[in-house]
Structure 1
Amino acid sequence: MSTTQYSLKESSIPKLLLTYAGPAVLGLLINALYNIVDRIFVAQYIGAQGIAAVTLSFPISLFQFGFILLFGSGTGVLISKYLGESRPEKAEKALGTMMAGLLITLVLFTSAGLLFYKPLLHAFGAQGELLKLSGEYLQLIIFGFPLSFFIALEFTCRAEGNPRLPAVLILISSLINLTLDLVFMKYFHMGIRGAALATIIAQSVNAIFLLRYYFSGKSLIQIDWKNIRIQKNMILSIFSLGLAPFIMDVASSIQNIIANNLLLQSGGTFAVTAMGIIFSVNIFFLMTALGTGDGMQPIVSFNYGAKRPDRSYKTLLYSVGLVSLTGFLGLIVLEQFPNLIIGIFIDKNQNIIHITQIALRIFALSIPFYMVQIVATRYFQALHKKKIAVFFAILRPVLLFIPIVYILNGAFGLNGIWSSFVVSDSLAVLITLYFIRKY
């Protein structure tokens, strides 16, 4: 048994969470920071319409990230389970199958994106100058897809016991993004295209280093050229395990599209700009939940494979406690200092400041609820409870949010849209806690 395998089976759960979830959360928080600074640059050098344009383009990026989750998260869970069962050769076949699937998907996705990005943006509600700006931004983002898909290797790194490398690479790519934002937008006056170009260069650097790690022979699980092919049983296992986070991400994309459309109807560009600011702030909490869930999964999956369910359950309890505490602290900060936070993005347009202040205070109430729900979804995915994980993935953003947002928007207008996040997330976490107790 390797040192990594012994650690996963015998070390204390808090220590393991610090080892695995710590770098994952830190890396994603750094990623969140550069996303926020990215939008600050857009706000300062382009204005409110720039933030609205990036916000309208966001569902496409979410949809792409859904496929990264489908392959990366599904393969990561499978690798952890195989290592727990002491079957490294199966883990290498899973990695090879993932690489083949990524190559096929990135060709199809990039081609479709370049052909249909404008009609999609128009369907999302973009018109006139907003359509032009969002189109310029999204076109360049799509050109970066062929490399950015390989960020899926971050999940397999964590699964094989190397959680530090993804965190370091996210830090490097974040610094690159921030530096290029300043150069392209302030000095080269490239506008929103500069923001997009900085993003795709940073993501590409991350992906290139991940590929280098695996092809240099330094990884525990090797990429063997003969394994880079679609193996039917393996790809089905990857899809079934990665389906929950994929559906959650795609469902969030649908949720954003519907919310943006209703916001344009009820409050215009200013309301979408407010949502963009909320997304920028919220990304800190989202990444904390995702990082905790992603870091938790190798521990849960390994001990599931090693027949230690008690350790898997303890990992869930510590993870839920961590995100709950973070969520409530965030709620207090956002309720007490909304103007200070909004002023980082917009400090002159009083209409946007007023709309965002109300929206942020309402939306903040949902943060602790959805953070717990994300971690629970990752837990059932790691335990191979696929049907429950898929149900959780669509519960909050689709089954609950869509009917609730239309009802509350009709009854209360713009404030009803903000409140729909709170209502759907609180109901979702109650249902989630019931399933946790049951299983």
Structure 2
Amino acid sequence: MGDDKNFEDELKEGGAAGAASALDPRGEQLHAASGGDDKVLRMGTASIPRLITEFAIPSVVGMLINGSYAIIDSVFLGHAVGEIGLSAMTVANPIMVVFMAIAMLVGNGGNALAALRLGEGRREEAERALGNVVSLSLIMAVVVAFLGWFPASTDWLLNLSSATDEVRPHAAVFIQIICSGFILQCIGLGVNNFIRTCGAPNRALGTMVIGLVSSVAFNYLFVIVMGWGVAGSGLATVLGWGCSCVAVLWYFCVKTDAPLRLRLGALPLRLRMDGTIMAYGFPSFCIQAGMAIVNFVLNFQLVKHGAASPIGADDALATIGVVQRIAQFSIMPLVGISIALQPLLGFNYGARKVDRVRKTLWYGIGAATTISIIMFAMVQLFAAPIAQAFGIKHDGLVDFTAFAIHLQFLMLPFVGFQIVGANYFQATGQPAKSIFLTLTRQILFLLPLLYLMPLWLPAVAPSYDGLDALLFAMPIADFLSIFTTALFVGWEMVRLRRLSRQSAH
């Protein structure tokens, strides 16, 4: 299904008529293939703005909830432990992002494949994708748990994340606890997306709300009341994932009217399907893995240039850690929009409904841009109060954090377009393009700038030191990646218009 040439050939040869008949106005053929499930069928027939609204609201809220775990941990630790707790979270953050990348690699990839197969009327294959995602998650969880508790690998990760001697023991404890609960994150986050593809976005949101509320309660109990510090925060996060995991498994294993069921017969791995899952999920993996690589490099540069500035290395880690939390949180609703669009784009692309694919993309871009502008206004207006909410109290540190927030988010109003545009190619079975566009923002542009800006900016503007110069890298990288995505999306619109004309003849 990811083959554009096959798509064009089917339309030219009349295959589109047969494929589209699976979603004819009466819905008869897909009714037979999908068991008469109206929640699935409506993705190819109902009002696009209404579908996007229905799917996007719980998806956006759900991603905000998912992003809130790191925010909650940081807020509780900042007030209970101080800057050292925030520094420990900054060191642990790249490792946590890697774990999320692995969960999204199999979860988003399997979900994209399931949406395409449902659009083609192949329910059994969609269920096999669900089962294989669970099996792959179990295998990866065993590997992660082993690495987390193997001293040599833990030390290597801490060195890679530039942990200082004071921060190191706190970050190590947090990482080990998170590694132990990784399977709960895989199911609670990765498999959760299948509920949305089943046409139940509100239930998908509910499973995430359960996890967040539980995490807040456990954080308050373990960190504030019992004084367990970083270890308590890690345990609270894992237990929150566990509550979400139970809710997700209940839907697929116990609920009898779910469009997809988690069956034992679907669990055995199928190498060809698993390869497709990995290919479709790789763009999502690249987003998170790229973020992790950037964080590793950024931590190294922060320690290096922070030690040479009046702020110091540990406070630089704490400050930029706060900015990273806000950045990740502000991106979450945009990722939520792209995730909400994924089943709609995939289903209609699989059903050869080209006009609906185009409309879905542009409505999604409009929604993401609106959210981007709102988030931009909030962080620009309330930069200093946001810094103080994380437990940063020193006036000089608050001012530096506010300056970093103002600068880092300059291009935020346009980032929604870039994220939705890159995800479009993943949802429609064109992973290579999606991977490239994802890498432009996180790797191809940002990483070189993190090294170049501290060398170049102080030379041309002596009022800025190396630590200040690091902050300019992100908005420049954002601009370059947005421009590149615009070129790809523009060419894709030309291609879809051509396909639409061919299918009409």
The answer, yes or no, to whether TM exceeds 0.5 is yes
Task: Please give the residue correspondences for 1:357-368 in structure 2 after superposition, counting only pairs within 5 Å.
Answer: 357-368=402-413
How many residues get paired? 439
- For 1:404, the equivalent position in structure 2 comes to 449
Distance 1:363 1:263, change over 3 A: same
SS in structure 2 at match of 1:365: coil
- For 2:305, the equivalent position in structure 1 comes to 266
In 1, Cα distance between the equivalents of 2:69 and 2:273?
36
In 1, Cα distance between the equivalents of 2:124 and 2:387?
51
Q: Which of 419, 426, 437 does residue 392 from structure 1 map onto? A: 437
| 1:130 maps to amino acid | V
In 2, Cα distance between the equivalents of 1:158 and 1:228?
20
8 Å Cα contact 1:346/1:353 also seen in 2: no
Distance 1:33 1:64, change over 3 A: closer
- For 1:415, the equivalent position in structure 2 comes to 468
- For 2:359, the equivalent position in structure 1 comes to 314
In 2, Cα distance between the equivalents of 1:284 and 1:347?
18
| 2:433 maps to amino acid | I
Residue 119 in 1 paired to residue 178 in 2? no
Residue 110 in 1 paired to residue 139 in 2? no
Q: Which of 220, 242, 248 does residue 281 from structure 2 map onto? A: 242
In 2, Cα distance between the equivalents of 1:146 and 1:305?
31
Task: Please give the residue correspondences for 1:128-277 in structure 2 after superposition, counting only pairs within 5 Å.
Answer: 128-151=165-188, 152-218=190-256, 219-267=258-306, 268-277=313-322
Q: Which of 428, 435, 439 does residue 481 from structure 2 map onto? A: 428
Q: Give the Å deviation of 1:186.
A: 1.5
In 2, Cα distance between the equivalents of 1:347 and 1:78?
44
Residue 369 in 1 paired to residue 414 in 2? yes
Deviations 1:27-69 (A, max 9, x none): 2223334532321111001111111111110111111111111
| 2:194 maps to amino acid | T
Q: Which runs of 5+ in 2 are unaligned?
A: 1-30, 32-36, 307-312, 458-465, 493-505
Q: Which of 349, 355, 358 does residue 394 from structure 2 map onto? A: 349
SS in structure 2 at match of 1:221: coil
In 1, Cα distance between the equivalents of 2:320 and 2:87?
8
In 2, Cα distance between the equivalents of 1:305 and 1:96?
21
Q: Which of 45, 61, 79 does residue 26 from structure 1 map onto? A: 61
Deviations 1:192-247 (A, max 9, x none): 11111110000011112212221214321112212211112211111111111112
In 2, Cα distance between the equivalents of 1:318 and 1:237?
28
Q: Which of 373, 378, 383 does residue 333 from structure 1 map onto? A: 378
In 2, Cα distance between the equivalents of 1:104 and 1:173?
23
| 1:132 maps to amino acid | P
In 1, Cα distance between the equivalents of 2:357 and 2:148?
40
Q: Give the Å deviation of 1:427.
A: 0.5
SS in structure 1 at match of 2:389: coil
Distance 1:34 1:233, change over 3 A: closer
Deviations 1:169-188 (A, max 9, x none): 11111111111111111111
- For 2:17, the equivalent position in structure 1 comes to none
In 2, Cα distance between the equivalents of 1:34 and 1:95?
25
In 1, Cα distance between the equivalents of 2:317 and 2:49?
40
Percent identity, aligned pairs only, is: 26
In 2, Cα distance between the equivalents of 1:329 and 1:432?
22
In 1, Cα distance between the equivalents of 2:97 and 2:318?
18
Q: Which of 409, 423, 446 does residue 378 from structure 1 map onto? A: 423
8 Å Cα contact 2:164/2:314 also seen in 1: no
Distance 1:353 1:169, change over 3 A: same
Q: Give the Å deviation of 1:16.
A: 0.5
| 2:111 maps to amino acid | G
8 Å Cα contact 2:40/2:198 also seen in 1: no
Deviations 1:391-432 (A, max 9, x none): 012111111111111110222312221110000011001000
- For 2:503, the equivalent position in structure 1 comes to none
SS in structure 2 at match of 1:83: helix
Q: Give the Å deviation of 1:147.
A: 2.2
Deviations 1:88-119 (A, max 9, x none): 01111211222221121111122122211232
In 1, Cα distance between the equivalents of 2:276 and 2:358?
23
Question: What TM-score results when the alignment is normalised by the length of structure 2?
Answer: 0.84
- For 1:300, the equivalent position in structure 2 comes to 345
| 2:288 maps to amino acid | D
SS in structure 1 at match of 2:472: helix
Q: Give the Å deviation of 1:145.
A: 1.1
8 Å Cα contact 2:94/2:161 also seen in 1: no
Distance 1:411 1:346, change over 3 A: farther
8 Å Cα contact 2:69/2:237 also seen in 1: no
In 2, Cα distance between the equivalents of 1:362 and 1:284?
16
| 1:257 maps to amino acid | F
In 2, Cα distance between the equivalents of 1:418 and 1:372?
22
8 Å Cα contact 1:273/1:352 also seen in 2: no
In 2, Cα distance between the equivalents of 1:34 and 1:406?
30
In 1, Cα distance between the equivalents of 2:260 and 2:227?
44
Residue 12 in 1 paired to residue 47 in 2? yes
Distance 1:217 1:186, change over 3 A: closer
| 1:377 maps to amino acid | A
Question: What TM-score results when the alignment is normalised by the length of structure 1?
Answer: 0.97
